[in-house]
Chain A
Amino acid sequence: MGPIKSTVTVPVLTMEHVAKSFGGVTALVDASLSLYAGEIHALLGENGAGKSTLLKTLAGVHKADSGEISLEGKPFIQGGTRESIEQGVAVIYQEPSLFPDLTLAENVFIGRHLLKAGLVDWSEMEERSVALFERLGVTLDPQSKARGISIADQQIVEIAKALSTDARVIVMDEPTAALSSKEVERLFTVVRNLREQGSAVVFVSHRLDEVFVLCDRMTVMRDGSTVGVSMISETSEPEVVKMMVGREVSELFPKLEPQIGDVVLQVKSLSLAGQFADISFDVRAGEIFALAGLVGSGRSEIIRALFGIDLYDSGTVTLAGKLLPAGKPAVSMERGIALVPEDRRQQGLFMATSIARNVAVTMLKKLTSGFRVKRLDEESTARTWAETLQLKFASLSDPVERLSGGNQQKVVLGKWLATEPTVLIVDEPTRGIDVGTKAEVHRLLSQKAQQGMAVIMVSSELPEVLGMADRVFVMREGRHQGTLERVDATPERIITLATGGTVSV
């Protein structure tokens, strides 16, 4: 296996004492990373630890202020993205970076089109792409446009692109964040193949369980510096978390003793053709109710329908004993339901608008006199919430896009909690945010539940479901597969139900 080989060879890449600051903000203080051929290397750290900056230095997006980088024994030329690609570095970014209007073949060879007699050789590019896709174990039509292909397939195209440049260092920034478990498996197979073929793969992920399954070695960063390097086999999850946050996170899931009350929300035989069928459940005050299942099992569709964003074909939703009209999100909000959506950038926030404005937007009615928004009240309301949420920010008038992902998520949560809902619906509340903030979000949800709020949580992360939920409602392909009480919920049982099996409790 990789790690044994790597102790006897020289590293393919070394980055030593790299520092970088932007204006007055220091992003990297003393970052180091060394990679060996034939290893899968985890780069870990909370958001803001400097992982992205370090990788972007390697990608040629940023230029380091100081430090030494060498690739295969030669000094690494920090010229730009083209230079990095030419030196054998390929970066697969978290945000998809394909060209939707171009064919898959052209996407693979973009900027490096294969030429014959000085002209673009389409058939050669298509043949080579097919060969690369085959090597990665997928069948994709090289002539079809990239628009609309799944995120999993987009990553395959990106990896094919990396292979076509004969990249020796392949960086994957959170590749699994948006994949279903089946797609994650396929990706892992591909990554292991890359290792066999002698590539050095850098794997960035917030899911430690994946890191422990896949990776050989790891580098941990905190506050712009490398704080630890270790073999995966010689460490453990708690140890890694401790290194990442620099303190003991004794409770990642600070679950408080629930005070379960009366039924507040009742869903009866809800159906929507092609999405979900015959869904019934009750949610009680003070309860955290989790909807679990694979991506695409209809969880998000149900909450969208019950909140009123989408219509449903049949069934009823009752809130506090009164029927809730279908397709009227404004009524749902007024009656005390809040929905924190999955995609915070697109659906949850006004990215270019100030933090204060974002928090206060759900309370405009209270903060308005006549046609005027009372700016001072807006400011003070936002400040109260920023403190409750332990938000890290420079100024409340800063645009939200300047906050880290975790802090953005806190703003979304804050603006909905500020409406004092009786039912709070959260869709993937901690996706893509760091461990420390995750724990804070969990603490907040737990607190609110204990104070009597009913929380409906959609989550793809099993530890989160197991750690937080009082009851787990498991779905598969739009249908209810079974409900597990907190004491009965185990990873095995949830997965069995989610993949179509049955369990006896």
Chain B
Amino acid sequence: MKAMRSLLKARELPVFLALVLVVGLTGVANPTFLSATGARDILLGVAIVAILAIGQTFVIVMRHIDLSVGSLVGFASFLIGDLYSQGYGLWGGLAAALGVGVLVGGVNGFLVAYLKLPSLVVTLGALYVVRGIFNDYAFGRTITAAMVPPEVAWIGLNRIGGIPVLFLMGLVLVVVSGFIMRRVRSARDLYAIGSNPAAAELAGIPVARRVFTAFVINGAIAGLAGAVMLGRFNAANANSGLAIELVVIAACVVGGVTIAGGSGSVWGAFLGAILLQGITRAIGALGIPQFWQQAFNGGLIILAIAFDKYLSTRVKTTTIMGSDDG
């Protein structure tokens, strides 16, 4: 009963219902949408955004943002293929990808946490710096299928029990990080920091250290997600990952990770990613011009924010009325 009540109150529920609605209605209009291939298409497309959205959730709940992940994930995917083709093996490439992610996340985190620079600006700068270095490094080269480590290619091509491995990796990550966000003390601190930064300091939370760590983790996730991206596309070039950070942030916002910090879950962000991908596919399946897809997703972001605003004001007025004794 109590579990039922908290489920109904969960911010993730409307996202889930919207997803069911989109998939159901499209399925009625175009039954191939609901076929195994159709569903797989959605799940395959969602994996990268979902994994990046997990890291981004850590950052957004602290009332920060990380725009650099698109450049990072692209660069990382290129590095893994490039280093493999030069004989450094899979692990050499993964180590380099992780290293770049941690380095960029660390620089972002240091500037935001200790020098108190706004994360929007810092990570916007990092977006361009990393993309610039990436372009210079790639210098017109592309990573072709032959340069992709076979293990990486394998995760992009195979399924377990009919479900794409890429999606399962994302799902496992969501389960693990969802648990961490709920049950680990230092992860709870991230919510406190985003909810009321000044009070977090007063409560003795090591705010700067937490902010720094969260950016490093997000960078690390983006670096490792490079492997997922390479596995998915089996290729990479200097434009890999371009503008994907915006899709990631959209997924978070639609999934109820409020940009004002303090609330939201990785499960919400995950559902948000699936919903956006579902709508993209649905619009294709319904034969609606592609142009509408972006407009629709944009509208959904605004709707999500309006909804959160409505929720928070509704909570406020009910309690004020309830406790007013004038």
Contact = CB atoms under 8 A, between A and B. Distances in A.
A102 B184 contact: no
Please give me the 10 A-B residue pairs with the lowest Cβ-Cβ distance, nearest first.
Answer: A296-B326, A82-B204, A101-B262, A148-B316, A97-B199, A99-B195, A148-B319, A101-B195, A150-B323, A119-B183
Given A99-B191, A99-B262, A93 B202 contact: yes
Q: Which of A82, A99, A113, A119 has the most chain B CB atoms closer than 10 A to its own CB?
A: A99
B202 A106 contact: no
B320 A297 contact: no
B196 A149 contact: no
22 contacts: A61-B202, A81-B201, A85-B203, A95-B198, A97-B202, A99-B191, A101-B195, A101-B261, A101-B263, A102-B195, A111-B205, A115-B185, A120-B182, A120-B183, A120-B184, A148-B319, A148-B320, A149-B319, A149-B323, A183-B325, A294-B325, A477-B326
B198 to A, nearest CB: 7
B185 A120 contact: yes
B189 interface: yes
Contacts of B316: 147-148
Interface in A278-309: 293-298
Interface in A179-211: 180, 182-183
Given A106-B188, A152-B323, A294-B325, 15 more contacts: A80-B204, A82-B206, A85-B203, A85-B204, A98-B199, A99-B192, A101-B195, A110-B188, A110-B205, A111-B205, A119-B183, A148-B319, A153-B323, A183-B325, A295-B326
A329 to B, nearest CB: 23
Q: Describe B's contact surface by its main secondary structure.
A: helix
Interface string B257-289: 000011100000000000000000000000000
A97 B203 contact: yes
B325 A180 contact: yes
A293 B326 CA distance: 9
B170 interface: no
A150 B319 contact: yes
B317 interface: yes
A101 B194 contact: yes
A145 interface: yes
Nearest to A144: B319
A62 to B, nearest CB: 12
B315 interface: yes
A178 to B, nearest CB: 13
Interface of A: 59-61, 80-86, 91, 93, 95, 97-102, 106, 110-111, 113, 115, 119-120, 143, 145, 147-150, 152-153, 180, 182-183, 293-298, 477
Contacts of B319: 147-150
A8 B200 CA distance: 39
A97 B196 contact: yes
Contacts of A106: 188
A195 B148 CA distance: 71
B136 interface: no
Contacts of B261: 101
Interface string B194-218: 1110111111111000000000000
A294 B325 CA distance: 9
B326 A298 contact: yes
B86 interface: no
Interface of B: 6, 182-185, 188-189, 191-192, 194-196, 198-206, 261-263, 312, 315-320, 323-326
Nearest to A293: B326
Contacts of A59: 202
Contacts of B262: 99-102
A296 to B, nearest CB: 2
Contacts of B189: 111
A462 to B, nearest CB: 16
B264 to A, nearest CB: 9
A95 B200 CA distance: 13
A101 B203 contact: no
Given A145-B315, A296-B326, A297-B326, A101 B202 contact: no
B204 A91 contact: no
B323 A102 contact: no
Contacts of A101: 191, 194-195, 261-263
Nearest to A477: B326
A369 to B, nearest CB: 37
A298 B326 CA distance: 8
B260 to A, nearest CB: 9
A296 B192 CA distance: 31
Contacts of B323: 149-150, 152-153
Nearest to B261: A101
Contacts of A294: 325-326
Contact of B318 (A60, A102, A148, A297): A148
B196 A100 contact: yes
B199 A148 contact: no
A183 B204 CA distance: 29
A99 B196 CA distance: 6
A230 B153 CA distance: 80
Contacts of B318: 148
Contacts of A102: 191-192, 195, 262
Nearest to A93: B202
A97 B204 CA distance: 12
